[in-house]
Structure 1
């Protein structure tokens, strides 16, 4: 048991989950501002930089969680759940950054209503992820567990809305856009934005599993 005594019995994982979720929301809000001010090159650069900064901060939290889980003797939830949750959350931040980078690399000239709608849904989904993650530290309380499950259900609904917007956007794109290069650019952006909500749903599924196991 000497090995166990040398290791911390429980790391502050829930606090780090919350820190990461805050960085996700920061990245999402910065991306939304990028989209809203896309016509201004200087502001576009500023908000792209803010997305990058939030993603790097999220990465640091992810690395710390993955490091700590190997040094902690007793974890508050299953180690696999910790790994899956933090790494899936990190995928959200990565996808937001990828969306901003793709718009720049593909030299997207302007944003349309579909990009704006998918962005709005992505922000809402990220905010709900933050709410859900904040609740898993107190699952012994039945009301908290119920609230967390309802938040996960809301994430699922937002993801379904994003699916519908995505399908309509792709249909319109292939019917109305004559420039093949624009089709390629916009399709890539649509898919990335919809993937953000998909990954948020993945986080919701992990949270639901934690709730059902520990509440």
Structure 2
């Protein structure tokens, strides 16, 4: 089987686009907490639908890798990048599902900022992957990857600020349990950004080896 060179790139781009759509739904979900509670379950389902769509694209990519004798990029690199993108989508879904698991009824500035950063990172990743098929745009992809890594670094500071705020004031046992639940929720949000960074680093490796 000798697929067209563009098929791999098109599937990778479609995969990252589903992740971006899922992250955008997650951002709307977090922004709606405590504001439009009637929209929360619908947005959780929207994230789940994007995850299911991303899983199908991942399966198509894996099948093409399995059947192809020739690939436009290193086979292992395509495989690893696909898994990295899949981890972003899974972590986005984890955040959405955690809203009900931890009974998160409202959001604060830090949570909304982390969600916005995730969309920003996913948007840059999608653009970097879209540029991957054009060798003349490799510098564009590299710069976008660097920007993703910087976003992830900034998210560490937001996470630290959020955790510090949680435990600044003493409270009763219920307040303590809520603080621990929110800390776990923040950690899930931060994981989205860590997975974005891992995908960006994998993409950088691909770009360097194919320069």
Provide the TM-score with structure 2 as the length reference: 0.94
Q: Which residue of the other structure, out of 90, 94, 111, is the alignment partner of 1:94?
A: 90
Match of 2:163 among 146, 170, 175: 170
**Structure 1 residue aligned with 2:14, among 5, 16, 19?**
19
Inter-partner Cα distance in structure 2 for 1:30 and 1:109: 17
**What SS class does the counterpart of residue 106 from structure 2 fall into?**
coil
- In structure 1, the partner of 2:74 is 78
Equivalent position of 1:59 in the other structure: 55
Could you list the per-position Cα deviations for residues 156-186 of structure 1 after superposition, in whole angstroms to 9, with x for gaps in the alignment?
Answer: 1111111110111112212236322112210
Match of 1:33 among 28, 31, 36: 28
Kindly report the root-mean-square deviation, in angstroms, between the aligned alpha carbons of the 2 structures: 1.3
Equivalent pairs counted in the alignment come to 206
Q: Flag the 1:177–1:158 CA change in 2: closer, same or farther, 3 A.
A: farther
Divergent runs of 4+, >3 A = none
1:3 corresponds in structure 2 to none
Decide which moves more: 36-45 or 152-161: 36-45
Correspondence 1:133-144 to 2 at 5 A: 133-139=129-135, 141=136, 144=137
List per-residue Cα deviations over 1:2-43 (Å, max 9, x = no partner): xxxxx2355611000110111011101111111111123320
Helix, strand or coil for the counterpart of 1:63?
helix
Structure 1 residue ranges without an equivalent (≥5): 1-6
